[in-house]
Amino acid sequence: MELNTLHVVDGESTGGTLRVAGFHKDGKILGWRDALYTGPVPAGLTLAQLSRVRSRFWTRGKRQAEFAKRDAVLQTHDDYDKIVLWFGRNCVLCQLSLIQVLSWFHEKNAPAARFTWVARHGGELPPQDITRVFASRRPITSAQMRLADRAWRAFRQPSPTGLVRLSKSNPRALPGLRSALVRLLQEYPSTRNGLSRLERQLLRQIEIRGKTKAAYAVGPVLIRESVGDVLLFDMLRNFVKAKHPLLHFAEPFSGRVSSWRFNGSTLALTDTGRQVLRGKADHVAMNGIDRWIGGMHLRGKRVPWRWDERAGSVVGVG
């Protein structure tokens, strides 16, 4: 491994594995821990300004400096000979972090020759395999940096049109980017029933079981998807709290819905939930939505954009 290397990793898990493997001895490990697939990521802000927005989002308005130390380390990038990016290829979270970081360096006119990419999620690997995976890293090209900048700017716009165009252009320069963009677009409410892809998966897990604990509905989805459990549990909470609930407590629950105890509650579909899953009712039209996807804020009972399964794309709706 090179001397004086900055390793930018996709989270604490990967960072911990790299430390056990000794990568911290000849460089620094910087965790890029922000699940950008949820919450506001508006355009027109500097890294510091956006980090304050993201900090307020994750702390429910209590703090705005959660990412200050992270950003301060990034500002010292000129102190390092090499920069290694550890972001998985088949992961929405990793791809969003990758394009954010590369876009920032592109704005700083950092030469691509300083960067390499390990397209694996290091947190899934034992420390003894890390050195082998590190050896498989590939150089970052100028074309990849330009594509990342284009994707990051499109993601932050208050409209999905840029992301739609980019997903249809089959951007091969960054392997995994197109599939990540499509999965992100599938989080727009469906034209069929107002559910996003992840919401539909959660409800189907409960439908299959008849009734089940919230954690058991979330577990199988976590195995398949590169998202955090916080997002999925919040989706279940919203189904319970909705004006026209899609889920109800199948067994008595005396805790607060907002608390961690909700994870152990037993849930079942309501008649409304079954109707929505069958496409006979629309979740957004009945209950409204308040969700950010990048720079697009979806809110209210009528939204201008939806995912159309037949078209395989987000489409405008009247």
Beta strands, E only, 155-249: 211-213, 247-249
Architecture of domain 5-185: 3-Layer(aba) Sandwich (3.40)
Work out the average pLDDT over 212-236: 93
CA distance 213 to 249: 9
Give the pTM: 0.93
Q: Note the pLDDT of residue 234.
A: 96
| Residue ranges matching CATH 3.40.50 in the chain | 5-185
User: For 197-316, CATH number?
Assistant: 3.90.199.10
Work out the average pLDDT over 54-79: 95
Work out the average pLDDT over 77-89: 93
Q: Nearest 5°: CA angle at 224, between 236 and 283?
A: 30
Predicted confidence band of residue 144 (pLDDT cuts 50, 70, 90): very high
CA neighbor of 107 nearest in space, from 148, 51, 49, 62: 148
Answer yes or no: is pLDDT of 266 > 90.
Answer: yes
Q: Note the pLDDT of residue 3.
A: 58
| Residue ranges matching CATH 3.90.199.10 in the chain | 197-316
Contact criterion met (CB below 8 Å) for 281 and 268: no
Q: Note the pLDDT of residue 1.
A: 47
Least confident of 112-126, 149-163, 227-241, 250-264: 112-126
